[in-house]
Amino acid sequence: MTQIFKNIRNRYYEKIICIPNHLYERKDLSFLRNDLFFSILLITFLFGILAYIPSVFFSVEHEKYAIGIIDTIAIATITYITFSRKLSITTKKIIFVVNAYILAIVLFIYLGTKGPATIVLFSISLLSTLFFSKRVGLISVAINAAVYFSLPFTINNLIPRPNFFNDLTVNAWLIIGFNLIIFNTILVIAISFLVDHLESLIINEKELQNQLKKEREDLIVAKQRAEESDKLKSAFLANMSHEIRTPMNGILGFLDLLQQPDLSEATKSKYIHIVNKSAERLMNTINDLIDISKIEAGEINIVNTETDIDKLLIELYNFYNPQAIKKGITLFPSIPYSNLELKIYTDNQKLYAILSNLIKNALKFTDEGNICFGYLLKDNIIEFFVKDTGIGIPKDRQDVIFNRFVQADLSDKRAFQGSGLGLSIAKAYVELLGGKIWVESEEGVGSVFKFTIPLILSKPQNI
């Protein structure tokens, strides 16, 4: 029977109220109040239809036509608010309660204490508490008291032979009424307590659900990070193995070849050059590992000294230009103030390392075109840049390009040498100097790496 009513109610929600059933999965107090109202409204309509016919026969048989008329108006009103799509829920609730009050008054007048009028009044106050709030429920109790105590006297001269006191004296009526109102008030307060407790439980449940949802999301993120970390760790170890073994094999192999007695001077020079390049590559890898270890351990100290920015750019140009020429790339510095020696206070070695890592990165990923590096002065900061015409960086990797070991990601099919630590070291140094670093790139067009540091002039300069 319960399941049949639930099916009827769900169809009623969907077809009559025009609210899809899945929206009724919410569990807040407002929903529960409305759900209770519609359930009671539907029950009242169904049972009201069943009770209407015998009630009409009773009123005709006993010549109490007013009861039949009121019952007709009541069932018509219930039918209207049950199937109306225009009325709001609040309006339907108000009409339902007013209709019940009118019905209770008529039952009192024509049936006295023998009828269900007192039960209807009690029901109105309880339902008002459930439909609206405790305040509305207590107001309903006050209206019940006014109806119960004043109706016999106000209607006595209007209705011939009223039935109020057929069974009870006035004193008995008043005493019983007083007790009924007290009992009614207690029930309203008790129901309000239960509703408040229910609301508290709903709120706590929602908070718990939100907390569980957040913890679940955090666990998913942590799992993804752990999987990514494990993936990068495996890729990094594989790449480090390659970065260490390859130059070591070159060193050992060509040192073995140098022991052959019949080598020409030209061949010896060539082998020695290869050994030196392999040793340089191995040393760069070891230095990167040492630097990132120091950064992770917080052992990097900043030593600010007077730094000639233009001189530093020229040194970088002189050092990396031979590599650029060898690749057929044009490398040039951009010095905006050629008449001025710009000197600032910063850590010279860290700044050199940052620009060096960015230029090496540009040389690695640029096969043709040019690489330009320089700086611009903006308010109280100095903005450096390294611009290349290389392969560019995909949009989905630009946010992680400065992370540890990203170059070691095995999903990268291009076989570039390097530990994948250069940009990470550069980012750490920039942040230690009090600045920030970012990249602007378009795949197939090129990249621009930019970073800022505070502009602290060593002496007043006209810029």
| Residue 145: predicted pLDDT | 85
| Residue 450: predicted pLDDT | 94
| Residue 372: predicted pLDDT | 95
| Residue 154: predicted pLDDT | 65
Residues pairing with 333 in the sheet: 373
- Print burial letters for 93-113: b (CB count within 10 Å at least 16), e (below 16): bbbbbebbbebbbbbbbbbbb
Express each pLDDT in 58-115 by its tens digit: 777 777 677 778 778 888 888 888 888 788 888 888 888 888 888 887 777 777 666 6
| Residue 258: predicted pLDDT | 83
pTM for the whole thing?
0.47
Torsional class of 26: left (φ above 0), alpha (ψ -120 to 50), beta (otherwise): beta
**H or E element at residue 345:** strand 343-346
**Domain 305-454 indexed as CATH 3.40.640.10:** no
| Residue 2: predicted pLDDT | 60
Where exactly are the structural domains of the chain?
Answer: 1-168, 305-454
| Residue 416: predicted pLDDT | 47
Angstrom distance (rounded) from CA 170 to CA 149: 10
Where the chain has pLDDT below 50, the residues are 18, 20-24, 161, 408-416, 460, 462-463
C-alpha dihedral (198, 199, 204, 205), degrees to nearest 10: 70
